[in-house]
Amino acid sequence: MGKKPGRPRDWSERQLINGIPWRTRTAAPWRDVPVRYGQWETIYGLLRCWQREGTCSSY
């Protein structure tokens, strides 16, 4: 198996996914999501992508 193209990820998918319920549970603004979950823009983008696909509609 070869090396994947592109830049390596800074955050694991698990960290990003854990950021979504944290933000929902606390009702905090997106910008207040702790850095341990990843950049808020990345978490928000992941959620929006899932919402558009119909993968995640409960958040």
pLDDT, tens digit, 9 for 90 and up, residues 16-35: 999 999 999 999 999 999 99
**Residue 24 per-residue DSSP state:** H
What integer pLDDT is reported at residue 57 of this predicted model? 64
* pLDDT score for 6: 82
State the pTM of this model: 0.76
